[in-house]
Amino acid sequence: MTRVLLVYPKFPKTFFGLQRTLKFLGLRSTHPPLGLLTVAGTFPPDYELRLVDMNATRLREADIKWADIVLTGGMMLQRPSTEWVIEQCNRMKVPVVVGGPDATSSHDKIKGNPHLVLGEAEGDQVIGTFERMLASREQIVLDLRDETPNVNESPMPRYDLLRMNQYLHMAIQLSRGCPFQCEFCDIPELFGRVPRYKSEERVIRELDELYRRGWRGDVFWVDDNFIGNKKSAKELLPSIAAWQKAHGKPFHFYTQTSVNLAGDDELLSAMVKAGFYSVFLGIETPVEASLLETKKVQNVKYDLLESIRKIQGSGMEVMAGFIIGFDNDPDDIDRHLINFIQDSGIPSALVGLLSAIPSSPLYARLEKENRLIPAHAVRKGDATLQFAFNFKTAKDPKILVKAFTSVLREVYGEPDNYFRRVENLFAHHGKKRSPVPRLPFISFVQLFVRVALKIPTSAYGRAFARFLRRVFSKYPKRLPDAVRHGVVGWHFYELTRERVAAAEFEGFVSSAIEAAGEANGRERGKGLQHAELVLADAREKLRRLPAASKADMRVLYEEFEGILNARAASETV
């Protein structure tokens, strides 16, 4: 029996990751690796499979040694972890195969010479190719990028490989692909512009499987755009609603949609009836010139604030993504975003710098314009709280990074602003409210006690307490929702503090090295005096950093100290 180890690489800390929220709840990860679970479904019964999700558990040497072959891969921001897995497999001489979005779009940049699967890893070729990869010392590449599998015939995900009690949410998929042409997005290139939908029968089978496995609670539909084909979505939603009713409404759904959801009352109502309590929208920016630049024309057709409020008025919450760095962004882009986010009542407003993703039209355009910065492709091109661009921006990047920092500080670094958005959300809901995840009473009490013991020791905690008093007075039935938002917001607050402080320290170190060189250039020996003062300042700044940032920044400080000491030594010769 061939032994196959499926390894899901680790994500860095991100807003999406909710790492602190997970600790509060005693969980390990937000979502299971649905892609790997689906690939697992392709294997016949004479294969023995194991799954290690590195976001939920540690990958041990014994796990790799057990395997005849290792399958791994994920998104671009997981690449450092993916390459570490490849390195361990190579060291132990176990064949390793890498697939997923990062491999499909950037396989030539992945180190370690692994076998590769490009595109959607489904179909008859896959297992036969894995067998060849087992026996070959030369790299084998299975290129499926020109194929568009029928998602209705996609393998059933192997949920049985999971420890479900480690996850905050489960994951399921209805469709693949998106009909829109947003320049920064690679989804149409990866999965096509014609959305492919599963049948009613197939969707019900997957819901049945999750239910049979004992899952109750949040389920994330991972579709690129759940309403990419409105007609197909409308046909399926009544069946999902009927299934929910027949099973006692065990699941609370959320997904990603385009903003044109607000323009279709029938679709909006059908989603609420099916049990959707939240949607993620790619708002990107309230600046129309930037939306037109990036071909996000669907957002220009609608009044964005009114659209968000309409969706909220249906009873659903709105999460949204925002981007800084478009060529047409004004100098005060931070004020545009801050005002929009606060007015809209979107608690989870996830802001990042524009990234040129390989396979996206933006990447092709910037490459043609000779504006890419290859050295930043992974570390600073993943839009996950990185403070630099992987391309030459039209505006001074310092202005844009400063605007990004300003947005983070006001949206998440000021707790009162966050809680005002939650109250705005409650007001926009009015008397309507979609079925939202509810903890059993005893679990809610335990969570509330945990919150009371831990969070109030901070500025965030004091703002949280004031917020809870206001909610108890104005919206007493929303108290569980208020606690839920507060625990999520704490993750945003702490992560923002860590990353902004670390970015500022990095900027200080970079400027200090440059200043020391300039001082020495003006007068020999001045660099040494400058270095001594700067090192003392750096030590003090390092001492004041949030604990979670200190380890990485201490390494940077030691490198900085070495550079300055080397320069000082050269000056005394």
**Residue 200 within any structural domain of the chain:** yes
Q: String of b and e for 123-141 (b: at least 16 CB within 10 Å)?
A: beebeebbeebbeeeeebe
3-state class percentages of the chain: helix first, strand second, coil last, to nearest 5:
55, 15, 35
Q: CA 424, CA 427: separation in Å to the nearest integer? A: 5
Instruction: Pick the last residue of a domain from 370, 397, 429.
Output: 429
Does one domain contain both 275 and 340? yes
Identify the domain containing residue 21 by its residue range. Answer: 2-143
User: Which segment of 159-168, 247-256, 478-487, 523-532 scores lowest on mean pLDDT?
Assistant: 523-532
pLDDT of residue 443 exceeding 70, the answer is: no
**Residue 437 within any structural domain of the chain:** no
Query: Which residues, other chains included, contact 271 with Cβ-Cβ below 8 Å and sequence gap of 6+?
Result: 237, 261, 279, 316
Does one domain contain both 133 and 191? no
Q: CA 342, CA 339: separation in Å to the nearest integer? A: 5
**Residue 151 within any structural domain of the chain:** no
Q: What is the CATH number of the domain that holds 254?
A: 3.20.20.70
Does one domain contain both 383 and 283? yes
Does one domain contain both 339 and 474? no
Does one domain contain both 297 and 405? yes
pLDDT recorded at residue 85:
98
Pair of tokens at residue 266: 């029938």
Query: Which residues, other chains included, contact 149 with Cβ-Cβ below 8 Å and sequence gap of 6+?
Result: 120, 122, 123
Does one domain contain both 374 and 405? yes
**pLDDT band, residue 435 (cuts 50/70/90):** low
User: How confident is the model over 6-63, as pLDDT tens digits?
Assistant: 999 999 988 889 998 898 888 999 999 999 999 999 999 999 999 999 999 999 999 9
Does one domain contain both 389 and 261? yes
Query: Which residues, other chains included, contact 555 with Cβ-Cβ below 8 Å and sequence gap of 6+?
Result: none
**Residue 253 within any structural domain of the chain:** yes
Q: CA 42, CA 531: separation in Å to the nearest integer? A: 60
DSSP labels, 346-384? -S-EEEEE----TTSHHHHHHHHTT-B-GGGTTTSSS-S
**63, exposed or middle or buried, with CB in 10 Å at 0-12, 13-18, 19+?**
middle
pLDDT recorded at residue 438:
59
CB–CB of 31/16 below 8 Å? no
**Residue 158 within any structural domain of the chain:** no
Instruction: Pick the last residue of a domain from 128, 143, 158.
Output: 143
Model confidence, pTM: 0.90
Give the helix/strand (H/E) hosting 311: helix 304-313
**pLDDT band, residue 125 (cuts 50/70/90):** confident
Does one domain contain both 53 and 202? no
pLDDT recorded at residue 518:
66
User: How confident is the model over 363-400, as pLDDT tens digits?
Assistant: 999 999 999 997 644 443 344 567 889 999 999 999 99
Q: What is the CATH number of the domain that holds 48?
A: 3.40.50
Mean pLDDT over all residues of the chain?
Answer: 89
Does one domain contain both 563 and 424? no
Q: 82-86, 506-510, 569-573: which has the highest mean pLDDT?
A: 82-86
pLDDT of residue 471 exceeding 60, the answer is: yes
Counting the structural domains of the chain, the total is 3
**Residue 163 within any structural domain of the chain:** no
Q: CA 227, CA 264: separation in Å to the nearest integer? A: 11
> Letter for the amino acid at 272?
V
**Residue 77 within any structural domain of the chain:** yes
| Cα atoms in the Cβ-side hemisphere of radius 13 Å centred on 330 | 11
pLDDT recorded at residue 280:
98
CB–CB of 32/171 below 8 Å? yes
Does one domain contain both 464 and 540? yes
User: Which segment of 76-85, 173-182, 470-479, 538-547 scores lowest on mean pLDDT?
Assistant: 538-547
More confidently predicted of 406 and 573: 406
CB–CB of 55/28 below 8 Å? yes
Nearest to 485, CA basis, from 404, 418, 397: 418
Does one domain contain both 563 and 414? no
**pLDDT band, residue 532 (cuts 50/70/90):** low
**Residue 157 within any structural domain of the chain:** no
Per-residue pLDDT averaged across 208-231, rounded? Answer: 97
Query: Which residues, other chains included, contact 219 with Cβ-Cβ below 8 Å and sequence gap of 6+?
Result: 169, 170, 171, 172, 210, 251, 252, 253, 254
| Chain CA centroid to CA 17, Å | 6
Q: CA 54, CA 80: separation in Å to the nearest integer? A: 13
Instruction: Pick the last residue of a domain from 382, 403, 429.
Output: 429
Does one domain contain both 490 and 542? yes
**Percent of the chain at pLDDT above 70?**
87
